[in-house]
Structure 1
Amino acid sequence: MQHEEIARKLLSHIGGSENVMNISHCTTRLRFNVRDEAKIDIAAIEKMESVQGTFFRYGLFQIIFGAGVVHKIYKEMLHLCASAPLEEGMQPESQSAMNYFTRFAKTLSDIFVPIIPAMAASGLLMGLIGVLKEFSGGAINGPVMKMLDMFSSSAFIILPVLLGFSAAKQFGANPFLGAVIGGILTHPDLLDPSLLGSKTPSTIDVFGFQVPLIGYQGTVIPILLSVYIMSKIEKVLKKVVPSSLDLLVIPFITVMITGFAAIFMMGPVSLFIGHLMSESLGFVYQYAGAAAGFLFGGLYSLIVLSGLHHSFYVIEASLLADPEYGVNFLLPIWSMANVAQGGAGLAVFLKTKNANVKKIAIPASLTAFLGIVEPVMFGVNLKRLNPFIGASIGGALGGAYVTFMNVAANSYGLSGIPMISIILPLGTANLIHYLIGFAIAVVSAFIATLCLGLKEEKEE
């Protein structure tokens, strides 16, 4: 089906353009905020050939189309809804009723989702460099390798800039000012935190206090706290500064106050918080070992259901930025949970008698092996429950193995097969154990699903 035809049929099943208040999308899903949920014909939408599943979350009706397709349908939907202007800044009722923890985690998730492509690209480039060095014995050097090193590290160096822009949008502030605050935290005059073990930062005297000039390249918490403070300052200034002066006065005062707060207060406090988080996780990882991997791997899919899994990037980035650790030992566990969903999806393909389910199960399972888990989770496994339980068992066993063997990654944002690129640079043994864990997760999820059985839906 052409994307325009899909959009037209979808719009008719969702109640027409007059029922659509807001449209957005992520990697695999098209998300609608509607005026009347009763007008949505869910059964008809799920029968559409391109649809891999539907569900409601936080007051949004979400339709899974898969990566590479959803943004094309999104563009067509925008054209079709052009006659009925969409309402900006919608906050669904159920979202406003969320508890503080859920709202906090969802905000972190929404901040990180837009920058995932940049992180994934950098991770893959790091993997390419690692592969070239691994199999060339270090013989490959020169200008090309130098350029690849620059390309792969840039996103992590300017991570606070990217997060500053994204966070400011989420907090309702000027995103370009958020990027400026990120630039302040990564200024070349500030010592890169990764060099703290070998270099001593210079200090400056401010009102009798000796302030170390430490940068925050690759960190997350300092920029998030700083931009949050910035958003509050900007909102206060907008209330008191005359509109004729807001273009000059508000950015000037906002950047000046936030800059001082970021360097002298938010930054040092954030480093302490980040180090405390890393130490706590490191303690659990060291002493709980395979038991922690079993628990995290088994429960991770439940967190994906809530949509809050992207908030874990804060923790993963803190681990990478901490000189004491410098690796991501959580991502391999999450990866086991994701690929286990694919293994369970293959079992559904084998057991189901429904031709339409078979058509969805294979591509959705393969997508899970490539790191995108929503199609098989929501479109295949969750609807039948037992496959979801089987996938959780596979994720737990795979997570226990990779934790026991101390498998780690040098980046984040990738899982499944693409994750090999950020596993290999840490050694061949690291890769071998990752692949073994991968096999354990997929095979055990497949077998567990076959053993649990498959309850076909009545409409099938």
Structure 2
Amino acid sequence: MSDENRRIAEELIEAIGGKENIDTAAHCATRLRLMVKDKEKIDQEKVEEIDKVKGAFYNSGQYQVIFGTGTVNRIHEQVIGLGVSESSKGEQKEEVKQQGNKFQRLLRTFGDIFVPIIPVLVATGLFMGFRGLVTQPEILALFGLTPDSISDNFLLYTNVLTDTAFAFLPALIAWSTFRVFGGSPVIGIVLGLMLVNPALPNAYDVGSGDAEPLRFLEFIPVVGYQGSVIPAFIAGFLGAKLEKWLRNRIPEALDLILTPFLTLLIMITAALFVLGPIFSAVEAGIMAGASFVLELPFGLSGLIIGGLHQVIVITGVHHLFNLFEIRLLADNGLNPFNALITAGIAAQGGAALAVGLKTKSAKLKALALPSSLSAFLGITEPAIFGVNLRYGKPFLMGLAGGAAGGFFAALFNLEATGMAITVIPGILLYIGELNTLLLYGITNIIAIGVAFALTWAFGYSDKQLNN
């Protein structure tokens, strides 16, 4: 096996233009990430023909070759053994940060900030789903119980599980933003906690009319920022910059005392009285625009989002949707966006599955079938870059399947209790109600079935192998 992996590594290095064209190599869970000097020297067709390669593409300053879980570790080891310099993902990120236009760098920054937060939000969504499941009358009846049998203490315990992450969301965002921009994360946490201090009127209570904002100087309204994303991000960004600026100017003997003191004093004042009101309005405008699309009648939102989401994923702009989903969950604990993007993801798996079952090519079959399974687990990169985009029409048929599944989900207002997991793992976000779980299953069946049928009938023929 090691000899085979070494041969693959040698072929890959040659197809990329030799060791002299590769600066460094790193890897993530599924992809080998190579920093190359001249992307014009890459022989894309030759790379894609190498055994075990499930797709390859140039993105965000890196040439990324998809091998899949486990395999990528072994290929990376062989590439390094052949003399290519190794770097960590963090070191490559520093190189990548200098590449691309301002918008691309902004998107990467959003990803760096929100990705570390997502696991706790996924856990919160699962807690909400399980709470809904165990409190259903039908489930309780199996144990001879009724909803009235549930103690208040148990409900309080579940509230601790489901409410904590979103109650302190600005603290998570400010912490991560400080971390990304080189500030002290602990100062970011405290700054974020100040934004949701219980002494301030709760933003949700003010919004519902149950509380009044504080009035400073008789005209500046001040409230807490529960559930806010952009104000916490801006406060974290400026706070990290301010801390670094102060640290370079305050004498070392006073740094420990004055730097955190001045950073927190200046930033919480600016956040409560200036930044918060301004960027809360900006965030409200963004949410209003996104909600307008999401609330289009007659299933139109599902057609649009389910049909186009994977196109957006290819461009990398999909990181912006994290902000939208987080706000949806923070506001009401439900996320209708998840079902629509699930349809798009499942459909690309359905298209790759059709290619894998229809082709007589053993190599393509070995690539397409595992890629479809990966998509059904929520990861579409192998299916999109390794199969569907390569032959063109399967990708388009996948978009059609996504639109069909999204249309159905939108018609029934299907909503998840969390974010970031889709298709098969996404089931856990819909188990709170049996009817919702059934609708989620039908959404995936429609998306996969339409994409599979269209790809089988019109989207792929082995004649394309020779083109």
Deviation at residue 333 of structure 1 after TM alignment = 0.9
Structure 2: which 5+ runs fail to align?
Answer: 141-145
TM-score under structure 1 length normalisation = 0.83
Q: Secondary structure at the match of 1:63?
A: strand
Of 348-357 and 62-71, the range deviating more from structure 2: 62-71
Once residues 75 and 143 of structure 1 are traced to their aligned partners in structure 2, the CA distance between those partners, rounded to angstroms, is: 53
Deviation at residue 181 of structure 1 after TM alignment = 2.1
Tell me which structure has the larger Cα radius of gyration: 2
How has the CA–CA distance of structure 1 residues 31 and 7 changed in structure 2, closer, same or farther, with 3 Å as cutoff? farther
1:90 to 89, 94, 97: 94
How many residues are paired up?
Answer: 453
TM-score under structure 2 length normalisation = 0.82
2:271 to 232, 251, 262: 262
Structure 1: which 5+ runs fail to align?
Answer: none
Does the 8 Å CA contact 2:23/2:37 hold for their aligned counterparts?
A: yes
1:31 to 28, 33, 45: 33
Aligned counterpart, 2:171: 161
Once residues 165 and 69 of structure 1 are traced to their aligned partners in structure 2, the CA distance between those partners, rounded to angstroms, is: 34
How has the CA–CA distance of structure 1 residues 333 and 169 changed in structure 2, closer, same or farther, with 3 Å as cutoff? same
Does the 8 Å CA contact 1:201/1:214 hold for their aligned counterparts?
A: no
2:186 to 176, 189, 194: 176
Check if 1:306 corresponds to 2:315: yes
Q: Secondary structure at the match of 1:61?
A: strand
Q: Secondary structure at the match of 2:324?
A: helix
How has the CA–CA distance of structure 1 residues 353 and 85 changed in structure 2, closer, same or farther, with 3 Å as cutoff? closer
Does the 8 Å CA contact 2:174/2:232 hold for their aligned counterparts?
A: yes
Aligned counterpart, 1:251: 260
Once residues 76 and 188 of structure 1 are traced to their aligned partners in structure 2, the CA distance between those partners, rounded to angstroms, is: 55
Percent of aligned positions that are identical: 35
Aligned counterpart, 2:106: 104
User: Residues 113-262 of structure 1: matches in 2 within 5 Å?
Assistant: 113-134=115-136, 135-136=139-140, 138=147, 139=149, 147=157, 149-196=159-206, 200-201=210-211, 206-208=216-218, 211-216=221-226, 218-242=227-251, 245-262=254-271
Of 51-60 and 191-200, the range deviating more from structure 2: 191-200
Does the 8 Å CA contact 1:21/1:35 hold for their aligned counterparts?
A: no
Deviation at residue 332 of structure 1 after TM alignment = 1.1
Once residues 80 and 175 of structure 1 are traced to their aligned partners in structure 2, the CA distance between those partners, rounded to angstroms, is: 39
Deviation at residue 41 of structure 1 after TM alignment = 6.9
Check if 1:19 corresponds to 2:28: no
Does the 8 Å CA contact 1:109/1:310 hold for their aligned counterparts?
A: yes
Which one-letter code corresponds to 1:294 in the other structure? L
Once residues 357 and 344 of structure 1 are traced to their aligned partners in structure 2, the CA distance between those partners, rounded to angstroms, is: 13
Check if 1:320 corresponds to 2:322: no
Once residues 327 and 338 of structure 2 are traced to their aligned partners in structure 1, the CA distance between those partners, rounded to angstroms, is: 13
How has the CA–CA distance of structure 1 residues 132 and 178 changed in structure 2, closer, same or farther, with 3 Å as cutoff? same
Once residues 114 and 80 of structure 2 are traced to their aligned partners in structure 1, the CA distance between those partners, rounded to angstroms, is: 24
Q: Secondary structure at the match of 2:295?
A: helix
Deviation at residue 72 of structure 1 after TM alignment = 8.6
Deviations 1:400-444 (A, max 9, x none): 12112211122221211222222233x433333222221111100
How has the CA–CA distance of structure 1 residues 76 and 146 changed in structure 2, closer, same or farther, with 3 Å as cutoff? farther
Once residues 162 and 68 of structure 1 are traced to their aligned partners in structure 2, the CA distance between those partners, rounded to angstroms, is: 32
The root-mean-square deviation of aligned C-alpha atoms, in Å, is 3.8
How has the CA–CA distance of structure 1 residues 368 and 83 changed in structure 2, closer, same or farther, with 3 Å as cutoff? closer
Once residues 209 and 46 of structure 1 are traced to their aligned partners in structure 2, the CA distance between those partners, rounded to angstroms, is: 63
How has the CA–CA distance of structure 1 residues 405 and 72 changed in structure 2, closer, same or farther, with 3 Å as cutoff? farther
Check if 1:450 corresponds to 2:452: no
Deviation at residue 184 of structure 1 after TM alignment = 2.1
